[in-house]
Chains A and B, each alone.
Chain A
Amino acid sequence: MAEKEPTAGAGKMRIDTEAVKEPVVASKLRKEFDGLVAVDDLDMRIGRGLLYGLIGPNGSGKTTAIKMFVGLLRPTSGQAHLLGEKVPIRRNVHRIGYMPQELAIYPDLTVHENLELFAALYSMKDSDFQESEREILKVIDLGERRDSLVSQLSGGMKHRTSLACALIHGPELVFLDEPTVGVDPELRVGFWRYFQDLKAAGRTVILTTHYMDEAVRCDVVGMMRGGKLIAEGAPKDLMARAGTADLESAFIEYSRRAVS
């Protein structure tokens, strides 16, 4: 009990110095909905510049955890710090990016107008926005559809626009909730290449997926089940420790161990 609530001054100092290495720190983070536990005293530390994959079946608490990180849900107990600031963060909010699981873009606006809106909300300068927009449209290959209404785009294009909206302001810490769900295989490869680019540029990327096979591309994988982190590590190590040839089998193995 005593260690759960450190004195404010000391706690803040400790978190701030660690934030240099670890932009995401969760301690005993918990969320209950009407008595149902969605996230169960989650402890988690994610280092800077990592591509971190949160994997687990539907309902394992991945999305709930991310929503607490980005300030959309209030933790029932415990706490989390992003970039050294306790969530819900205010001071550093412009330094993070978030792509919700749903498309979450305006179908009655063009691709450009969607991007421009989020750039304005993040107080980007016009010249910065223009440069960033040009760059990101190239990456998502939507340069020619810049002035098309989102409602007239294909599903994959909408998805790419949604990703672009989360990244337009060049955030150093990015949460992507199921960025590859419903994305065709060819595009998925492109997405992963882009995540690697972000990482190479020093950004920290945290994404969720329930396609366990693609999570091998992450630096670190956290396996969630029943709101708890049941295993965490580099994909190769996780498979080696479980004695399996793929992440999916590894997940099943760790689930079995967690229950027993």
Chain B
Amino acid sequence: MNVKRVLAIARKNLRGLKHDKRTVGFLVMMPLLMITIFGYAFGGDIKNLDVYIVNFDQAPANQSVAVAIIDDVATRDTVRQVRVYGPDVADASAIDASLSRVRDAKAWALIVFEDNFTEEVGAALGAMRNGTFAMPGSFKVYIDGTNPNVVSAIMTDLQISIQKVLASPVYGIVPPIIATPELVYGEGAEFIDFFAPGVMGLAAMMVTFMLSIISFVHERSQSTLERLLSSPATEGEIVAGYALAFGFVGLIQSIVILLTAILLFDIQIQGNVVLALSIILLFGIGNQGLGFVLSSVAKNEFQAIQFMPIILFPSILLSGVFWPIEAVPDLLRPVSYFLPLTYAVNGLRSVMIRGWGIGDVWLQLIVLAAFAAVMLLLSAYGLKKRR
């Protein structure tokens, strides 16, 4: 292996990019856009869900449990109360009008308190104190269940209000059991902290794979490969030159993502940044090798691009980028453990959020190094076989 020839091939690939300003723009902007869009789209909680309320509760406003719950919900922004029909105006037509808004998907939910709601709550509380039993006070939530996340957001918000109202001095009821989380890792971590390592892995994967497969399809179609192979450059040197160039590009992208995430979303990094970037570099080299290998089965750019979704979708969905691997059905779980992105994202999160060192992520490092080594060997072997 002649280092100068490896460097010459790496330089050639980077120079080609340098002259293509649009591609350079893409390479920098894509990860920046990815982290920004994902950060804002997933980072925030669900907010301002439109809800109608029809309150028949006959208790005076200052004693009404319904009013207390409605007022408490209004202190947060999960739900936006589009219209509240008080007991003075509540009637069947109010329910019809509100329900049709939900049916037309103009609002997410309709909450209805019946006229004896406060009374029922009072009876249930009294029974509890006397050690007897009475039906709990209840109200109905007509809800559009199209999006389970919305259902859970609205119901959780209502539960919070119910507990707060019960805990108020008027009733003084505190739940007898509370679970208190003591954070082992991730003190002050938000969703974006969980998310940024995933996006770094994903961006590195997309770009190194794409650059490598397209460049190499060109290398074959424009016959420059023949020229390289007839020169003193060996297969191994060509493969190493490619890995060096595009691994470097993947690294730069990760740095862009990291900087954006720090500046824009104030993410926390507990561990060693160099270790995190080393994980990305190994993973990027593996993916460029994969692109290299698959380029031999692609006759043109169009066929090369067809590999993108095939490679990307399983990784995006099964590697724990957006939700934990535990959420993957048992049947598909083995696939998760087979995907390199799983190890890259897991390793990155351990370093960035848990602050783990090299001794704790050795498994991920070994798996990624093996992935890279196998792909590079296959690439070199693929070139040799042509002769």
Residues in A lying within 8 Å of B, measured CB to CB: 67, 70-74, 88, 93-94, 96, 98, 100-110, 113, 116-118, 120-123, 149, 165-166
Does residue B231 face the partner (Cβ distance < 8 Å to A)?
A: yes
Q: Tell whether, in the assembled complex, residue A123 and residue B222 are in contact, meaning their CB atoms are under 8 Å apart.
A: no
Min Cβ gap A159→B in Å is: 13
Residues of A close to B226: CB separation below 8 A: 67, 72, 98, 100, 102, 104
- With beta carbons under 8 angstroms apart, the residue of B5, B229, B386 that contacts A120 is B5
Q: Tell whether, in the assembled complex, residue B387 and residue A108 are in contact, meaning their CB atoms are under 8 Å apart.
A: no
Besides the known contacts A104-B226, A120-B7, 11 further A-B residue pairs in the complex with CB atoms under 8 A apart: A73-B387, A94-B232, A100-B223, A104-B222, A104-B227, A108-B19, A109-B19, A116-B8, A120-B8, A121-B232, A165-B227
Complex CA gap A166/B229 in Å reads 13
Does residue B224 face the partner (Cβ distance < 8 Å to A)?
A: yes
Complex CA gap A121/B228 in Å reads 8
Complex CA gap A63/B233 in Å reads 22
Secondary structure call for the A interface: loop
Min Cβ gap B384→A in Å is: 10
Q: Tell whether, in the assembled complex, residue A108 and residue B231 are in contact, meaning their CB atoms are under 8 Å apart.
A: no
Does residue B15 face the partner (Cβ distance < 8 Å to A)?
A: yes
Secondary structure call for the B interface: helix
- With beta carbons under 8 angstroms apart, the residue of B4, B5, B224, B231 that contacts A106 is B224
Complex CA gap A163/B375 in Å reads 34
Please provide the chain B residues from 335 to 371 with a CB less than 8 Å away from any CB of chain A in the complex.
none
Q: Tell whether, in the assembled complex, residue A107 and residue B231 are in contact, meaning their CB atoms are under 8 Å apart.
A: no
Does residue B75 face the partner (Cβ distance < 8 Å to A)?
A: no
Q: Tell whether, in the assembled complex, residue A103 and residue B223 are in contact, meaning their CB atoms are under 8 Å apart.
A: yes
Q: Tell whether, in the assembled complex, residue B223 and residue A118 are in contact, meaning their CB atoms are under 8 Å apart.
A: no
Q: Tell whether, in the assembled complex, residue B19 and residue A121 are in contact, meaning their CB atoms are under 8 Å apart.
A: no
Residues of A close to B12: CB separation below 8 A: 106, 109, 113, 117
Residues of A close to B222: CB separation below 8 A: 102-107
Min Cβ gap A30→B in Å is: 16
Residues of A close to B231: CB separation below 8 A: 93, 118, 121-122
Residues of B close to A118: CB separation below 8 A: 227, 231
13 A-B pairs (CB sep. < 8 Å): A71-B229, A72-B386, A98-B226, A98-B230, A106-B12, A108-B16, A109-B12, A113-B12, A118-B227, A118-B231, A121-B9, A121-B232, A165-B227
Given the known A-B contacts A72-B229, A72-B230, A98-B230, are A105 and B8 also in contact in the complex, defined by CB atoms under 8 Å? no
Min Cβ gap B296→A in Å is: 15
Complex CA gap A199/B226 in Å reads 25
Closest chain A residue to B238, Cβ basis: A121
Complex CA gap A109/B231 in Å reads 19
Q: Tell whether, in the assembled complex, residue B4 and residue A123 are in contact, meaning their CB atoms are under 8 Å apart.
A: yes
Given the known A-B contacts A72-B229, A118-B231, are A109 and B224 also in contact in the complex, defined by CB atoms under 8 Å? no
Complex CA gap A105/B9 in Å reads 13
Q: Tell whether, in the assembled complex, residue A109 and residue B8 are in contact, meaning their CB atoms are under 8 Å apart.
A: no
Residues of B close to A67: CB separation below 8 A: 226
Q: Tell whether, in the assembled complex, residue A113 and residue B15 are in contact, meaning their CB atoms are under 8 Å apart.
A: yes
The A-B contact count (CB < 8 A) is 81
Closest chain A residue to B225, Cβ basis: A104
Interface centre among B4, B224, B387 (most CB of A within 10 A): B224
Q: Tell whether, in the assembled complex, residue A74 and residue B387 are in contact, meaning their CB atoms are under 8 Å apart.
A: yes
Min Cβ gap B261→A in Å is: 32
Given the known A-B contacts A74-B387, A120-B5, are A104 and B223 also in contact in the complex, defined by CB atoms under 8 Å? yes
Complex CA gap A102/B218 in Å reads 13
Complex CA gap A207/B16 in Å reads 30
Residues of A close to B16: CB separation below 8 A: 106, 108-109
Does residue B20 face the partner (Cβ distance < 8 Å to A)?
A: yes
Q: Tell whether, in the assembled complex, residue A149 and residue B5 are in contact, meaning their CB atoms are under 8 Å apart.
A: no
Given the known A-B contacts A108-B19, A109-B12, A113-B15, are A122 and B232 also in contact in the complex, defined by CB atoms under 8 Å? yes
Complex CA gap A121/B230 in Å reads 10
Complex CA gap A52/B19 in Å reads 39
Residues of A close to B232: CB separation below 8 A: 93-94, 121-123
7 smallest CB-CB distances across A and B, nearest first, come from A120-B8, A102-B223, A108-B16, A104-B223, A70-B230, A121-B231, A98-B230
Closest chain A residue to B386, Cβ basis: A72
- With beta carbons under 8 angstroms apart, the residue of A71, A116, A120 that contacts B230 is A71
Min Cβ gap B227→A in Å is: 5
Does residue B2 face the partner (Cβ distance < 8 Å to A)?
A: yes
Complex CA gap A74/B5 in Å reads 24
1/0 per residue, CB under 8 A from A, across B204-227: the answer is 000000000000000000111011
- With beta carbons under 8 angstroms apart, the residue of A74, A107, A121 that contacts B8 is A121
Q: Tell whether, in the assembled complex, residue A109 and residue B5 are in contact, meaning their CB atoms are under 8 Å apart.
A: no
Closest chain B residue to A91, Cβ basis: B232
Closest chain B residue to A169, Cβ basis: B231
Interface centre among A107, A117, A165 (most CB of B within 10 A): A117
Closest chain B residue to A166, Cβ basis: B227
Residues of B close to A101: CB separation below 8 A: 223
Residues of A close to B8: CB separation below 8 A: 116-117, 120-121
Min Cβ gap A101→B in Å is: 8
Given the known A-B contacts A73-B387, A113-B15, are A121 and B224 also in contact in the complex, defined by CB atoms under 8 Å? no
Complex CA gap A138/B223 in Å reads 26
Residues of A close to B224: CB separation below 8 A: 104-106
Min Cβ gap B54→A in Å is: 67
